[in-house]
Structure 1
Amino acid sequence: MTDAVNSTPVDFRAFRIHNDDAGYRGGIETMNTQALSAGEVLVKVAYSSVNYKDALAGTGKGKILRHYPLNGGIDAAGVVAASTDPAFKEGDKVLCTGSGLSETRDGGYGEYIRLPAQWTIPLPKGLSLRESMIIGTAGFTAALALLRMQDNRQTPSLGPIAVSGASGGVGMLAIDIFSRAGYEVHAISGKAAHFDFLRDLGAAQCIDRHQLAFSGKPMDSARFGGALDNVGGPMLAGLLPLIEPYGNVAICGNAGGIAFESTVMPFIIRGASLLGIASAGTARDIRDRVWEHLGGDWKPQHLERIATREVSLDQLPDVFGRMLAGDSFGRTLVRLNTSHQI
């Protein structure tokens, strides 16, 4: 892989994560663009975002990084500063989500990032850099779930879509995206105080997780045409018997646990499908399809409401702590280079 042309190295600030003899730690450092991970496209970052995975990586509460040190942040959007790939030129607006960021290569929590051209996505028409990072990995995951469900013959006519973990970032964006695509959405959340907000995003019904009683039967009366489950564990086990024939359940989270007990009955009697959503390693052609939808017919209509906080690099530790404690709501943007030039 060829390094991006950068005849004038630049010093910049980044939230960098170490794990060495001095222990696990993350904080603001000044580094040089020459020290960034290799890639063909050097980007001046305008915005990133905070995902649960970022909080785990930034605090060491989860084993996210494969090697150290690396800059945190699994999302980045900004303007090309230099490129050796003819597909990108200086001044182009681009984004990247997942694709090894803050796992095997430097992520978006720096004023600059160097990306492989293979994973650099031109900013879709219809989206600003800011909007693309309100969406970020969370919205990409929700839209990827919808794409996979529709590729497997999910349609609004099958019935409402249950969205668990609905008050989280993926859940909120899923409500907006699925509603935009013509689906009736039933939001499941343990935070009843947020129900009015979820209805404003497009949820037709809100279901209190604490009052949702699953029968435990291998099969139950069908209630949902499909589901996007952010929780896993007992939630996933409880949803499967409630899915209409040939409906899909997309699973993208494990807040409720990595194991679940079920039977083959929903699959062999109703033909239900369980779809795994692994957004970080999504193939480029599928990424392009998802972002085309997100900039067009699936573009969320309530992005500025969902973006409840905007912070600087220096404020990241506080954000990580609150997120891991369950005390966060909506999407948090990270502001880097946001001058009028970009």
Structure 2
Amino acid sequence: MRSFKAIRVDKNSQGYEADYVEMSDSALMDGDVDVDVLYSAINYKDGLAVTGKGPVVRRFPMVPGVDLVGRVTGTGRPDFAVGDLVVATGCGVGEAHFGGFAQRARLSGDWLVKLPEPLTPARAMTVGTAGLTAMFCVLALERHGLKPADGLAVVSGASGGVGSFAVALLARAGWRVAAITGHAAEADYLKSIGAAEVLARDAFSAPGKALQAQLFAAGVDTVGGVTLANLLSQTQFDGAVAACGNVGGMDLPASVAPFILRGVALLGVESVRPRIELRRAAWARIAADLDTAIIDAMCEIIPFDQALERARSIVSGKVRGRVVIEMP
């Protein structure tokens, strides 16, 4: 029986406790594919999981880490072979099923995608849930029939993880992109990854008219709330906004006017459910479209023994870009 290092979260009468532990293969949860984890990544959800500041963990004890990439060491599935590099994001990993903050994982093959070339494992984790969600948004806009010739694309929360990848992916697909951010100092960074112009968040943060000037053909919204309502009101005829976040609130203080008078579409995007064919398509596009220099510019690789401290820091807003954990 092999032992391995992990971060484990427990809950007791004193509250949450997260610490480094030694575990054995006998503790792994059900699954039909065994993986030696090479890299994981620190998401905001992981910070909530280790601090207990949000209801992320759905069973205890739990190994957090909603993203992981690793090498298959055992499989009961004909579609995977020992030695395959595979990536997992979402699907309850790190929330209801032991996740990536460990050297070993046992997972359902329904959650796994073979790592497409030329992505390296470290770059796949730099992309992680954030980049995958952004790609889902781009694919949703394309399924709606939108194309770069239709006009300007807008991205809210553009300096965040999902927003940054959305800017880069839309620009790579040929869109002229307007990036909305509350951090003026990030303007040069956003232009370096593809933004044609940078807009101040304040212009979208206050309630506006039900119908406003038609500025955008397409949008990716990571914020929700008033910002999303304003984007819908500024979307042109037959345009669409793909919505995937709620940091600005769960409410949507909008009217039906953009929908019934301009034919605007609101496309909901979520990234947790398996939907393996969509995941394969998204990872293939990411591997083909994303500039490796942009991926590397977003990445900081840290050793496993710093993961717990950095996961706590992300909740306090002290982490910029993508922090990737290299397993020992």
What do the CA deviations read for 1:270-295 (whole angstroms, capped 9, x no partner)? 11111111101141111111111111
Measured in 1, the distance between the counterparts of 2:22 and 2:3 equals 7
- Unpaired runs of 5+ residues, structure 1, are 1-8, 338-342
Task: Choose which of 125, 145, 152 in structure 1 pairs with 2:144.
Answer: 152
Measured in 1, the distance between the counterparts of 2:296 and 2:84 equals 24
Match of 2:227 in 1: 235
Measured in 1, the distance between the counterparts of 2:312 and 2:36 equals 27
Match of 1:222 in 2: 214
Matched, 1:206 2:198: yes
Measured in 2, the distance between the counterparts of 1:175 and 1:328 equals 20
Matched, 1:288 2:280: yes
Match of 2:316 in 1: 325
| 1:300-339 → structure 2 map (5 Å cutoff) | 301-307=293-299, 309-337=300-328
TM-score (norm 1): 0.92
- State the Cα distance separating 1:214 from its structure 2 match: 5.7
Measured in 2, the distance between the counterparts of 1:299 and 1:287 equals 19
Measured in 1, the distance between the counterparts of 2:313 and 2:177 equals 28
What do the CA deviations read for 1:146-167 (whole angstroms, capped 9, x no partner)? 1111111121122111111111
Task: Choose which of 179, 193, 196 in structure 1 pairs with 2:171.
Answer: 179
Distance 1:168 1:295, change over 3 A: same
Q: Is the 8 A contact 1:176 1:300 kept in 2?
A: no
Task: Choose which of 114, 125, 131 in structure 2 pairs with 1:133.
Answer: 125
Q: Is the 8 A contact 1:49 1:75 kept in 2?
A: yes
1:229 maps to a residue whose letter is D
Further displaced range: 85-94 or 211-220: 211-220
Task: Choose which of 61, 71, 77 in structure 2 pairs with 1:69.
Answer: 61
Further displaced range: 143-152 or 312-321: 312-321
Distance 1:312 1:157, change over 3 A: same
Q: Identity percentage over the alignment?
A: 36
Q: Is the 8 A contact 2:206 2:226 kept in 1?
A: no
Q: Is the 8 A contact 1:176 1:301 kept in 2?
A: no
Measured in 2, the distance between the counterparts of 1:158 and 1:293 equals 21
What do the CA deviations read for 1:40-75 (whole angstroms, capped 9, x no partner)? 111111111111111111211110111111100000
Task: Choose which of 246, 269, 275 in structure 2 pairs with 1:277.
Answer: 269
Task: Choose which of 22, 25, 40 in structure 2 pairs with 1:33.
Answer: 25
Measured in 2, the distance between the counterparts of 1:311 and 1:213 equals 35
| 1:157-168 → structure 2 map (5 Å cutoff) | 157-168=149-160
1:96 maps to a residue whose letter is A
Measured in 1, the distance between the counterparts of 2:111 and 2:308 equals 28
Distance 1:215 1:114, change over 3 A: closer
- State the Cα distance separating 1:85 from its structure 2 match: 1.5
Q: What SS is found at the alignment partner of 2:216?
A: coil
Measured in 1, the distance between the counterparts of 2:312 and 2:102 equals 20
What do the CA deviations read for 1:77-134 (whole angstroms, capped 9, x no partner)? 0111111222222211111110110121000110111111111111112211111111
Measured in 1, the distance between the counterparts of 2:179 and 2:11 equals 39
| 1:12-91 → structure 2 map (5 Å cutoff) | 12-91=4-83
Q: Is the 8 A contact 1:230 1:254 kept in 2?
A: yes
Further displaced range: 315-324 or 67-76: 315-324
Measured in 1, the distance between the counterparts of 2:209 and 2:274 equals 35
Matched, 1:248 2:249: no
Q: What SS is found at the alignment partner of 1:132?
A: helix
Measured in 2, the distance between the counterparts of 1:292 and 1:102 equals 24
TM-score (norm 2): 0.96
Q: Is the 8 A contact 2:111 2:274 kept in 1?
A: no
Measured in 2, the distance between the counterparts of 1:289 and 1:299 equals 17
Q: Is the 8 A contact 2:304 2:326 kept in 1?
A: yes
- State the Cα distance separating 1:254 from its structure 2 match: 1.1
- State the Cα distance separating 1:296 from its structure 2 match: 1.4
What is the RMSD computed on CA atoms of the aligned residues? 1.5
Distance 1:282 1:80, change over 3 A: closer
- Unpaired runs of 5+ residues, structure 2, are none
Measured in 1, the distance between the counterparts of 2:207 and 2:106 equals 51
Q: What SS is found at the alignment partner of 2:37?
A: strand
- State the Cα distance separating 1:318 from its structure 2 match: 2.8
Measured in 2, the distance between the counterparts of 1:29 and 1:180 equals 42
Aligned residues: 328
